[in-house]
Each structure stands twice: as C-alpha cells, then as structure tokens.
Structure 1
C-alpha cells in the first residue's frame, strides 16, 4: 500500500494547477492526508449547462482532479506519474449556486494501479455524485 508523500502539500497542488483546467474550474484542494483528499469549487455561471444546472463535466472535473491529486500524493516511491485508465460517475442531484465539495478516498493503492472513490456533495450537504476512477501508476 502506498503512503502519503509529504512533498505533495495543498500549496504544491495549487501551484501545479496554475493555468490548467483545475485552475479554470476554480478547484481548491482543502486537505490531503493518508488515503484521502478534500477539494471544493464554487458554482458560477460559466460552470452551468445551458439548462441552468451545474454541468456534469464540472462535477467530473472536481471529482477526477481530487482523485488525481490524491493519487499523485500517494504514488509509490519509485513511480514518476500516473494516468487515468477508467472513470465512472453517477449523478444524484445538482446545484445552481454555492460551493460543492468532494472527498476522495483510496480504495486500492497498489504498485501498478490505484482506485479512488469520490463523493461530491452540494451546498446543502446532500450527495450529488458518486465517482470512481482507476489510475495506472507510471514508472
């Protein structure tokens, strides 16, 4: 099982995202600890679908980034990176304003793959999406 690499702090993750999609989405990593990462983003007009509800891609962007950051922070010692090989999301609700949050939790932190689950909650604390991804560890 991979352990948390202390060099991947919240501040370092924010530096890495500058000018990239997570930055454009407004993602904020809040905490990273063994087997878990918490992140959030504020819902704004640009993240909505034409129907006025939060775009599914915005929710996936939050969940996938949180799982990706968590994977990065838990890479085995000799690994150099990772790539997503599968992801799935079930949507149970939506939001039109406020802040949504996700908690990514490691399900399998192996030497060649990692599996992460993320639960995304709306401003009211209700679950709006369940997300799972599999990461391939790169050496």
Structure 2
C-alpha cells in the first residue's frame, strides 16, 4: 500500500503498530497539521483517528473480498497542542460483520489526552 501520495503522507502520519484489534499511529504537530492560530487542527486529529480505525478494520477483514469506509466519526478535542507529536491508540470496541466501532485516544508525548474519538467503519463486499 503506497501512502506517500495520500492524506497519510501529506500529514506526516506514521503507522507504529497494527495488531489484532489495535492500531497505534503518530502524527507531527507542525505546519501541515496546525490551524491558522498555531494549534493542532481538530480536523487533523479526526483524520488521524479515522485513519487508525480504517487501518485496524482493514487488518481484520478479507481485503480480497471486502473493503472498508469510514461511516461516522465523532471527536472531543480535550487539550490544545502547538508542537511535538501526537499518538493515536485505536482499539476495536465492536467487531461486527458489516460494521466495526473503534475507540481512539489521541495523546501527547506525556500521555495527556488531546482528543477522544469514536469511529464506525463500514465493511462492504467488493464488486
């Protein structure tokens, strides 16, 4: 999977770990991910959360027969951040046949909560 020409590459996201029902990813807080006032953009946090949930879902399905898409996401932005790195820890909360629900904690380098998100990912047959 080539991620260099995708949102993942554009925002500097990196996959740290993909396990059974768990994904860990990082993203820098820099000029690519800040809003005009100098803080981490909420949309960048949401992009990181949905990406982690989607990668986690892809790891749990048969990608030869199925594909997955983000269906719904919510996010509570808890703390502002100006620089450094954030880490998304995504864990599957519901593993269904047609949907999966993921809980994603985005933390800073000191394990302080930056954003708490929940994402539902749809699983559909390839046509």
* Aligned: 1:113 with 2:96: no
In the alignment, structure 2 segments of 5+ residues that lack a partner are: none
Q: Note if contact 1:31-1:39 (Cα within 8 Å) is conserved in structure 2.
A: yes
Deviation at 1:52, TM superposition (A): 1.1
More strand by share: 2
In the alignment, structure 1 segments of 5+ residues that lack a partner are: 1-14
Q: Note if contact 1:94-1:122 (Cα within 8 Å) is conserved in structure 2.
A: no
TM-score, length-normalised on structure 1?
0.84
Aligned to 1:5: none
Q: Note if contact 1:79-1:137 (Cα within 8 Å) is conserved in structure 2.
A: no
Q: How many residues align?
A: 125
Give the 4+ runs in structure 1 shifted more than 3 A.
76-79
TM-score, length-normalised on structure 2?
0.92
Residues 1-139 of structure 1 mapped to structure 2, 5 A cutoff: 15-76=1-62, 79-139=65-125
CA root-mean-square deviation: 1.4
More helix by share: 1
